Structure 1
Amino acid sequence: MKLVITGNPGVGKHTSAKIIAGKIGAEVIDINRVAIDDNAIAKKTERGLEVDVKKLDGLLANLLKTRNDQIVVGHLAPYVLKPAAGISMVAVLRRSPYELEKTLEKRGYRAEKIKENLASEILGVSLYDSLKIFGRRKVVEFDTTGKTPDQTANEIMRALRKKPKPAGIDWLALVSERGDMQRFFEY
């Protein structure tokens, strides 16, 4: 089993991956850790680190050959993994922008970075990119809003056994209904 867990920062990817790995004895491959440890950083900018996508793709492809039970975790998954890597499922974790904002603030993210990540979450960029790369049959969306990491991990494990119906999370409609478009987007 090769599970990919992706989504925006602050949605619970790493915590869920660790819980699942502990329950099934899988190895966790942290994409960010691989990029840093194996020198797949292209450059450092004021916005953060930019990875060498080709190098990271090669490193991950080699790691995915080493074991059967693996969980690959990171927001970069759709950009650095090949769909033919024997991936069983791609779990895209989503969180309400209202809750996500608090999480990112607690982590000390700069206001600009928070706004960027919230816009990405509202628009479903991680989901869209995952669907584009891995296809509808492999991608499952999970709403982590108000859930404990254990609850999210259990939902992902259930989905691995039985393909769930699409979640259809629409934060854009929620934000629009609440009249908060200008809060999250400059237009």
Structure 2
Amino acid sequence: MKIAITGTPGVGKSTVSKVFCDIQNYKLYDITKIVKEKELYYEKDESMDSYVVNFNKLKEFFEKEIYSNENKENKKNKKNNLKNELDNNIVIEGHVSQHLDIDYDYIIVLRCEPKIIEERLKKRGYSENKIKENVEAEIMDVCLIESLERYKNDEENSKVHEIDCTNKKPDEIVKEINDALTTDELEYGKVSWLEKYFDYLTI
């Protein structure tokens, strides 16, 4: 099983992913940690205190890390194709996980009240510009829209499940994820912050 857990920075992806993987015995890949440790980026954007990800290198990393055991010739022939069987139950966590072109079984999009995200990012010491960018991304459903663009074929064939994490404990969110995976009843489109936070947006 290959699962992506995505969402705006500050929604709780890291905590939820760790709890889920500990319970389900899945292997966890933290994209932010991998990008920094393996230097899979072009440069650091000092103004936003973030890294410009080199997606080609990031995709190559996952090819080498999680492909099924194949002979060298088969690996060579499939070098640039991530849409193949992976050999483990894994979670790939990060707000860009939907951009990796991996054939996920499920995409879990975590959502959270924008004012809570703002408070959390302030505590992390994020710059004013970075906080605003991320809060606006949550208001505008950016991670959800990107996930649907890549993993929703039609109304009856979607891999995307959206969860509102506002005021919920990690174990409650993990239970919602497990329920969705067990029943294969996926939902999205019920979370909307736009009307409430429209005045926050920069027009």
Alignment TM-score > 0.5, same fold: yes
Give structure 2 stretches of 5+ with no counterpart.
69-86
* Contact preservation (8 Å) 1:83, 1:134: no
Question: 1:78/1:165 Cα in 2 relative to 1: closer, same or farther (>3 Å)?
Answer: closer
SS at match of 1:132: helix
Is 1-10 or 167-176 further displaced after alignment?
167-176
Q: Tell me which amino acid in the other structure corresponds to 2:105.
A: S
2:190 is matched with which residue?
A: 168
CA distance in 1, matches of 2:36, 2:187: 36
CA distance in 1, matches of 2:18, 2:116: 22
How many residue pairs were aligned? Answer: 178
Q: Tell me which amino acid in the other structure corresponds to 2:192.
A: D
* Contact preservation (8 Å) 2:160, 2:187: no
Task: Tell me how far 1:156 sits from its aligned partner.
Answer: 0.9
Task: Tell me how far 1:53 sits from its aligned partner.
Answer: 0.9
Aligned ranges for residues 62-141 of structure 1 at < 5 Å? 62-65=64-67, 67-79=87-99, 81-84=100-103, 87-135=104-152, 137-141=158-162
Deviation >3 Å, runs of 4+: none
Task: Tell me how far 1:83 sits from its aligned partner.
Answer: 4.0
Seq. identity, %: 33
2:81 is matched with which residue?
A: none
Q: Tell me which amino acid in the other structure corresponds to 2:139.
A: I
TM-score, normalised on structure 2? 0.82
Task: Tell me, yes or no, if structure 1 residue 186 matches structure 2 residue 202.
Answer: yes
2:31 is matched with which residue?
A: 31
CA distance in 1, matches of 2:162, 2:66: 23
TM-score, normalised on structure 1? 0.89
Aligned ranges for residues 150-169 of structure 1 at < 5 Å? 150-162=171-183, 163-169=185-191
Task: Tell me how far 1:164 sits from its aligned partner.
Answer: 3.2
Task: Tell me how far 1:175 sits from its aligned partner.
Answer: 2.0
Task: Tell me how far 1:167 sits from its aligned partner.
Answer: 4.7
Task: Tell me how far 1:27 sits from its aligned partner.
Answer: 0.5
Task: Tell me how far 1:64 sits from its aligned partner.
Answer: 2.9
Q: What's the RMSD between the two structures over aligned residues?
A: 1.5
Q: Tell me which amino acid in the other structure corresponds to 2:88.
A: N
Q: Tell me which amino acid in the other structure corresponds to 1:174.
A: K
Give structure 1 stretches of 5+ with no counterpart.
none
SS at match of 2:15: helix
Q: Which has the larger radius of gyration?
A: 2
2:59 is matched with which residue?
A: 57
